[in-house]
Every structure is written in structure tokens, then in C-alpha cells.
Amino acid sequence: MNAVCLLSGGMDSTTLAYLAADMGYRILGLHFNYGQRTEGKEHTCARTVASLLNAEEFLEIDLSHLKIIGHSSLTDHTLPVDSYRENREGIPNTYVPFRNANLLAIATSFAEARGAGAIFIGVQAQDYSGYPDCRPAFIEAFQKVIETGTRDGTSIRLLTPFINMTKKDILKEGLRLKVPYEHTWSCYKDQEMACGECGACHFRMAAFSAHGITDPIPYREDK
Amino acid sequence: MNAVCLLSGGMDSTTLAYLAADMGYRILGLHFNYGQRTEGKEHTCARTVASLLNAEEFLEIDLSHLKIIGHSSLTDHTLPVDSYRENREGIPNTYVPFRNANLLAIATSFAEARGAGAIFIGVQAQDYSGYPDCRPAFIEAFQKVIETGTRDGTSIRLLTPFINMTKKDILKEGLRLKVPYEHTWSCYKDQEMACGECGACHFRMAAFSAHGITDPIPYREDK
């Protein structure tokens, strides 16, 4: 059976695509460009992973209207990216309003048109502590939208096996699946050397450190 | 208060935008190009209506990825457009998989980013007899997605006052609101002269005929 796998180029979605393939799904890769700062690197990683997994299809979608709508430091390059802080209040400014609903709507159109039976999205606990569109309640509500908004007889399961896992748990799963983490990128800010300061770098570095292994991607030397 | 109004250029969404303005909302117009056959005409109509209503903003979004995903005669110009048939079985081939969820996801991002309190979408009964993403159950499910997937404290109401109305009822409301129907377009197939044969023309002609008034747009002479 085919499954649409959202491939951002990051650790979570890459690990999830390897898990989907391990479960026997044929992969329909889906990557989004919404004007995020590190898109060049993310795109290369996502495409490489789709190729390594012999994806049936790899679709790249331009969502630059999310940049036009604005309100996020990921897409508005005049805003500085929030650094990770332990006791930060509120949602970091990297939040793109209702982004995941936009991604899942396209994923569902793609799945319905291709007759795929599942959509895999790598949302996880440490994200939904900040981002509303990573919450389990949001995912459950979206499953209901899929059921009511697609042709009768369509069955598409929205699968988020990492939603209650930590980055450390996800990395453990990825090590079992032999995920090539050198072809993943997490940093929100830079794409030559990871900054080591943003929220995405913080969680990634902590996960590798917890397993006592070296992250294969380059970090800025002063980190 | 601001409201995002989806403006397709058709009768229903135009009438709805006039109703929203009549209710006191300031209009944030949102128009989509997803590679539909009559986009040139629809775009002109939507822009004109936004201007006539003194919209605060008019945002045009390119959704040509729906064309890439395919599976609809609206966007795949090699497929003939289904004609209207009284006892048609199944969904007409003008159905674009999960289209309205894509439109509403962007509308919600726009509303959240601008602090708008409502989204108006002109879905109505004669549509949802065929299209799954026009059903009341779909709209209710999407409202729940908005509530769970936006920042806490956000309140965006998804308003579909026409959902249980016929085209005739909508036109009656539009006549009361003095909607300039010469700046609307419904035909799925052509943009110089309406074809008079597709489902959209069928319902439009029947509504004008039921009120005993002349539709101000041009139809092909043989109709």
C-alpha cells in the first residue's frame, strides 16, 4: 500500500519515512517550500532520502503564500529567529500560523488522488509544547476532516507514531532503522553549519548527546 | 471586525461577501488560482468585487499544485467537463480532491495572522449533493481543526450561511443586497460566453429563471 510521507529534510520526518518503509509502505514523498530560511539544504536532504527509499513519487510543493501571509521568523527574514530558552513563555516566533493544516490538506489531496491509505507526519511532543498545530487534539480533529471531506469509500489514516515520543526516543528508533542522519537538517537559521543555538539545534544536539554518539552534520565551531 | 471572505468570482461567494459587509465586517478578500479553466474571468470578477466592497486587503494565492496532483476536469484540460445530468450517479469529474480543506487551511492562516474573527465560505446544498468537502459534517469538523490548531486565545468562526440554501434562495438574498451579478462568473468551461451546459451554468440559469429575471452575463447563442 502507498503512504504519503511528509519529508521536511529533518530528523523526525526522515526517521518516520524509514519506519513507514520498514512497515511495508511504498513511499509517496511530499516536500514543502514555504520560504523558510534553510530551504535549500532541507530540499536536498528530503530529495536524497526519497531517493534512498526508492520513493514511488517525490512531489515538491511551493507554499510561498505562507511567506506572504507572514507573521513568522522562519519566513520573514527581517525577524531574528528566537533562540532556545529553557523557561520561555509563549510560542516561539518560528511559528507559522496553522502551517500543519496547510501541509496536511495537500497531503490528503495527494493521498486521495493516488489512492494512498496513509499519511505519515512527524509531529512530536517537544513541538506541541509550543506549536498548537502539533497537538494530539489537532491531529484527531484533522483525521475527522479527512473522513468527512474525501469521497465516500476513501480510507486514509493519519499516522503520527512519534507524537508522544521524545527526540531521544525517535533517534533510538532511527538508529535501529539505520537512518542516514548525515542527510538530515534541523537548524532553523543556517544551512552551511548548524547554528547550535535555535530550538531545533538544541533538541537535536541533546538527543545525540543522550545516546553518547556524534551527530554527523557540521556545527559552527564556537558551539 | 475583519472577516476573511473566499471570493471565487462566482455567484455564491460574491453574494456572501456582500452579506458579510452588510453584517458590518471589514473584508479580507482571498482568491485562489488552482489552474481551473476559467481562472482569467474568475480572477477579474473576484478582484472587481473586492474593490467594490472596499476590501482591506485582496490576496491572490497560486495553488497550481492542485493541478499537479490532478484528477479533476477543472484542472486537467485533457478531460472533458461533465455536463449536468438530472440523474447523474456519483461525483462529477469537476471534483478537485479535498479542495475546500486546502482553501480553508490558507484562509485560517490568513485570519490568524491578521486577527480576523470569521471566515466566510459560500458552500451550499446543491454542491454538497456531489462534493464531499461541501458537506455540513466537513464544515463542522474543520471548525474543530481551527479551534485546536491555532494559537490559544484565537477565535475564528467558520461561517457558511448558505449551506442549506438553494441557489434560488441565495439569489433572492443577493437581489436584496443589490449584488452586481454582471461581475460574477459561474461557467466551469468557457470564459467569453457561458456554455449553458455544465453543472454550474445549469444551477445559475435555473435560479435566475425561477425569479423571472435576466442573468446579466452572456451565454452562447445556441443555448
pLDDT the model gives residue B87 = 45
Residues of B in contact with A99 (CB under 8 A): 109
Q: What's the per-residue H, E or C state across A21-36?
A: HHCCCEEEEEEEECCC
Q: Does B85 score more than 80 pLDDT?
A: no
Report the half-sphere exposure of A54 (CA within 13 A, side-chain side).
Answer: 5
Q: Is B147 on the interface with A (CB under 8 A)?
A: yes
pLDDT at A136: 92
The answer to which of A148-157, B177-186, B214-223 has the lowest mean pLDDT is B214-223
A109–B141: do the CB atoms touch at under 8 Å? no
CA A153 – CA A117 distance, rounded (Å):
11
pLDDT for the residue numbered A66: 82
Q: Give CA–CA dist B166/B156, Å, rounded.
A: 26
Contact A210, A54 (CB under 8 A): no
Does the CB of B152 have a partner CB in chain A at under 8 Å? yes
Q: What is the pLDDT of residue A81?
A: 62
**Are A145 and B147 an interchain contact pair (Cβ–Cβ within 8 Å)?**
no
- Rounded percentage of chain A residues whose pLDDT exceeds 70: 85
In this predicted structure, the answer to whether residue B57 has a pLDDT above a threshold of 80 is yes
Contact: A135, B149; criterion CB under 8 Å: yes
Check whether B190 has a pLDDT greater than 90: no
Instruction: Kindly tell me if the per-residue pLDDT of B146 is higher than 80.
Output: yes
B120, B159 Cβ separation under 8 angstroms = yes
Residue-range domain boundaries for chain A: 2-180
Which residue carries 438553494 as its cell? B166
Rounded Cα–Cα distance for residues A5 and B10 (Å) = 35
Checking ipTM against 0.95, whether it exceeds it is: no
- Out of A59, A99, A101, the one facing B145 most closely (by C-beta) is A101
Q: Is the pTM of this model over 0.80?
A: yes
**A67 Cα to chain B: minimum distance (Å):** 11
DSSP chain B: -EEEEE--SSHHHHHHHHHHHHTTPEEEEEEEESS-TTHHHHHHHHHHHHHHTT-SEEEEEE-THHHHH---TTT-TTSPPPBP-TT--S--TT--TTHHHHHHHHHHHHHHHHT--EEE----HHHHTT-GGGSHHHHHHHHHHHHHHS-TT---EEE-TTTT--HHHHHHHHHHTT--GGG----SS-SSSB-S-BHHHHHHHHHHHHTT---SS-B-TT-
Task: Look at A82-91, A120-129, B35-44 and tell me which has the smallest mean pLDDT.
Answer: A82-91
Q: Which residues of A touch B147 (CB under 8 A)?
A: 141
Contact A138 B152 (CB under 8 A): no
**CB proximity B102 to A under 8 Å:** yes
Confidence of residue A121 (pLDDT cuts 50, 70, 90): very high
Q: What pLDDT, on the 0 to 100 scale, is given for residue B5?
A: 98
Residue A100, helix vs strand vs coil: helix
The interaxial angle of helices A136-149 and B136-149, nearest 10 deg, is 160
CA B171 from centroid of its chain's CA atoms: 14
A163 touches chain B (CB under 8 A): no
Task: Report, as an integer, the average pLDDT of B190-200.
Answer: 89
Distance CA B194, CA B186 (A): 8
Q: Report residue B96's pLDDT band, with 50, 70 and 90 as the boundaries.
A: confident
* Mean pLDDT rounded to a whole number for chain A: 88
Give the pLDDT confidence score for residue A87 in this predicted structure: 45
How far from each other are the two terminal CA atoms of chain B, in whole angstroms?
44
The per-residue pLDDT for range B8-40, each reduced to its tens digit, is 999 999 999 999 999 999 999 999 987 777 888
Query: What is the pLDDT, as a whole number, of residue B38?
Result: 85
- Mutation site, B109, B135, B152, B156, interface A, largest A CB count within 10 A: B109
Query: pLDDT of B103-136, one tens digit each?
Result: 999 999 999 999 999 999 999 866 555 788 888 9
Q: Which of A192-196, B29-33, B77-81, B122-126 has the lowest mean pLDDT?
A: B77-81
| A155 in B contact zone (CB under 8 Å) | no
Contact A34, A71 (CB under 8 A): no
User: Which residues of A are less than 8 Å from B96 in CB distance?
Assistant: 109
DSSP code per residue over A152-199: TT---EEE-TTTT--HHHHHHHHHHTT--GGG----SS-SSSB-S-BH
Q: What is the mean pLDDT of residues A4-21?
A: 97
Cell for A42?
532541507
Question: What class does CATH assign to A2-180?
Answer: alpha beta
How confident is residue A50, by pLDDT bands cut at 50, 70 and 90?
A: very high
Asked if B69 and A110 count as a contact pair (C-beta separation under 8 A), the reply is yes
Q: What is the mean pLDDT of residues A47-63?
A: 95
Q: What percent of chain B has pLDDT over 70?
A: 85
**Spatial distance between the Cα atoms of A116 and A118, rounded to a whole number of angstroms:** 6
Cβ-defined contact of B113 to A69 (cutoff 8 Å): yes
User: Are A109 and B149 within 8 A, CB to CB?
Assistant: no
Collect all residues with Cβ–Cβ distance below 8 Å to A33 and sequence separation of at least 6.
A39, A43, A60, A61, A62, A63, A64
What is the average per-residue pLDDT within A28-55? 92
pLDDT > 60? residue A129:
no
Which residues of A are less than 8 Å from B142 in CB distance?
Answer: 145, 149
Looking at residues B158-172, what average pLDDT do you find? 95
The answer to whether B91 and B131 have CB atoms below 8 angstroms apart is yes
How far CA B211 is from CA of A84, B54, B125, B164, in Å, comes to: 63, 29, 19, 19
DSSP lists the bridge partners of residue A32 as A61
Nearest-neighbour CA in chain B from A137: distance (Å): 6
Q: Is the pLDDT of residue A6 over 80?
A: yes
- CA-wise closest residue to A185 among A48, A35, A9: A9
Please name the member of B59, B112, B138 whose beta carbon is closest to the beta carbon of A145: B138
- Output the CA torsion A105→A106→A110→A115 (10° steps): -10
**A101/B108 CB distance under 8 A:** yes
Portion 18-77 of B in contact with A at CB < 8 A: 59, 61-62, 65-66, 68-71
